[in-house]
């Protein structure tokens, strides 16, 4: 059964545009059911703002099932808030208590400039994928799906990495603004599968170097793994580093057959 939380203070980051100064704005939610999701609380606030003639708080969100990766809030300094393995949209108010003061900010990272309020631009993730995050297999020529068996542990490990929702929490949580967990997850998904072997090292080199153009460097803090709503293991970074190192040999023509 639902219980009511009372007197929740929200300190929300407001910023009119990429180059405008930002500031915190406080709003009090007098009463909210603990069955409400965190974003439903923001919906309620926004309706109140609109109906009183103020501009609604801009924030990215869509599926509200924790799978599309659109939502992206820094809640009390934690990417996606206090609940482990949970995207912002799946966070519910039962995680909070009456009288709490909750600070809500956008992702903070140089590669993710703020667009407005809590909305940021995560386009560099797409650039990393465009650089090599695929298996070249044009439509129509694929062999029968069961031709190449994939051992279950391999398929499972690939799936663990492929579960990445591309939300950017790893970057937001990282003190360096590095995207190694994201890039590592994309690489592990494809590089573990037999279908991904042909382009394994060209993929690793292209994606890592595109990542480096946009993001900071990894210094093994491990904050990314702790913040990841899909709990992707930091092991994917080790695999990425290993494949990237090998790529520097494998991708040299004279050594490519070794």
Partner 1 sequence: MSITLDSKIPEGPLADKWSNYIASQKLVNPANKRKFKIIVVGTGLAGASAAATLGELGYNVEAFTFHDSPRRAHSIAAQGGINAAKNYQGDGDSVHRLFYDTVKGGDFRAREANVHRLAEVSVNIIDQMVAQGVPFAREYGGLLANRSFGGAQVSRTFYARGQTGQQLLIGAYQQMARQVGLGNVKLWNRVEMVDVVNIDGRCAGIVTRDLLTGELQSHAAHAVILATGGYGNAFYLSTNAMACNVTAAWRAHRRGAAFANPCYTQIHPTCIPQADDFQSKLTLMSESLRNDGRIWVPKNPDETRPAAQVPEEERDYYLERIYPSFGNLAPRDVSSRAAKRAVDAGQGVGPLKNGVYLDFADAIGRLGEDTIRERYGNLFDMYERITGESPYETPMRIYPASHYTMGGLWVDYELQTTIPGLFCAGEANFSDHGANRLGASALMQGLSDGYFVLPYTIAPYLSQWLNKDIPDASHEAFRAAEAEAAGRFQSYLDVGGTRSPDHFHRELGKIIWDYCGMDRNKAGLEKAMSEIPALHEEFKKDVKVTGDAASVTQTLEKVARVDDFFELGMLMCKDALTREESCGGHFRSEYQTEEGEALRDDENFAHVTAWEWSGDMANPIEHREQLEYEVVQFQTRSYK
User: Residue 208 and residue 211: Cα distance in Å, rounded?
Assistant: 5
Binding-site size, partner 1 (CB under 8 A): 84
- Specify whether the CB–CB gap between 113 and 8 falls below 8 A: no
Supply the minimum distance, in Å, between the C-beta of residue 81 and partner 1. Answer: 12
Q: How far is the CB of 199 from partner 1 (least distance, A)?
A: 10
The total of other beta-carbon atoms located within 10 Å of residue 4's CB is 12
Backbone phi, then psi, for 116, in 5-degree steps? Answer: -165, 140
Nearer to partner 1 (CB atom), residue 47 or residue 213 = 47
| 200 is a site residue for partner 1 (CB under 8 A) | no
Interaction of residue 144 with partner 1, rule CB under 8 A:
yes
Residue ranges in 47-86 that form contacts with partner 1 under rule CB under 8 A: 47, 49-51, 53-56, 58, 60-70, 83, 85-86
Considering beta carbons, is residue 198 or 255 the nearer one to partner 1?
Answer: 198
Helix, strand, or coil (residue 109): coil
Q: Which stretch binds partner 1 (CB under 8 A): 96-104, 134-142, 233-241, 246-254?
A: 134-142
Alpha helices (H) in 21-122, listed in sequence order: 38-51
Q: Which of 11, 14, 163, 226 binds partner 1 (CB under 8 A)?
A: 163
- Per the DSSP assignment, residues forming a β-bridge with 4 are 33
Pairing relation of β-strands 78-79 and 74-75?
Answer: antiparallel
User: Does 1 participate in binding partner 1 (rule CB under 8 A)?
Assistant: yes
Q: How far is the CB of 50 from partner 1 (least distance, A)?
A: 4
Residue 253 found at the interface with partner 1 (CB under 8 A): no
Burial class (CB in 10 A: 0-12, 13-18, 19+), 65: exposed
């Amino acid at each position: 059964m639902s219980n009511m939380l009372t007197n929740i203070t929200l300190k929300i980051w407001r910023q009119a545009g990429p180059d405008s100064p930002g500031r915190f704005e406080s709003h009090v939610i007098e009463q909210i059911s603990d069955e409400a999701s965190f974003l439903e609380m923001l919906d309620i606030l926004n309706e109140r703002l609109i109906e009183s003639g103020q501009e609604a708080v801009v924030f990215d969100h869509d599926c509200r099932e924790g799978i599309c990766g659109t939502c992206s809030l820094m809640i009390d300094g934690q990417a996606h808030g206090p609940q482990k393995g949970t995207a912002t949209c799946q966070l519910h108010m039962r995680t909070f208590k009456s009288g709490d003061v909750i600070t809500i900010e956008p992702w903070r990272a140089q590669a993710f400039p703020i667009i407005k309020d809590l909305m940021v631009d995560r386009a560099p993730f797409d650039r990393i994928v465009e650089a090599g995050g695929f298996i070249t297999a044009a439509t129509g020529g694929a062999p029968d799906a069961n031709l190449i068996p994939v051992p279950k542990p391999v398929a499972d490990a690939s799936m663990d990495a492929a579960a990445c929702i591309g939300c950017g929490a790893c970057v937001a949580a990282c003190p360096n603004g590095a995207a190694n967990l994201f890039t590592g997850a994309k690489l592990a998904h494809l590089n573990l599968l037999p279908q991904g072997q042909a382009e394994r090292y060209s993929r690793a080199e292209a994606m890592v170097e595109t990542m480096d153009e946009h993001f900071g460097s990894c210094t093994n803090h491990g904050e990314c793994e702790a913040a990841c709503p899909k709990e992707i293991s930091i092991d994917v970074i080790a695999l990425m580093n290993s494949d990237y190192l090998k790529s520097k040999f494998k991708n040299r023509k004279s050594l490519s057959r070794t």
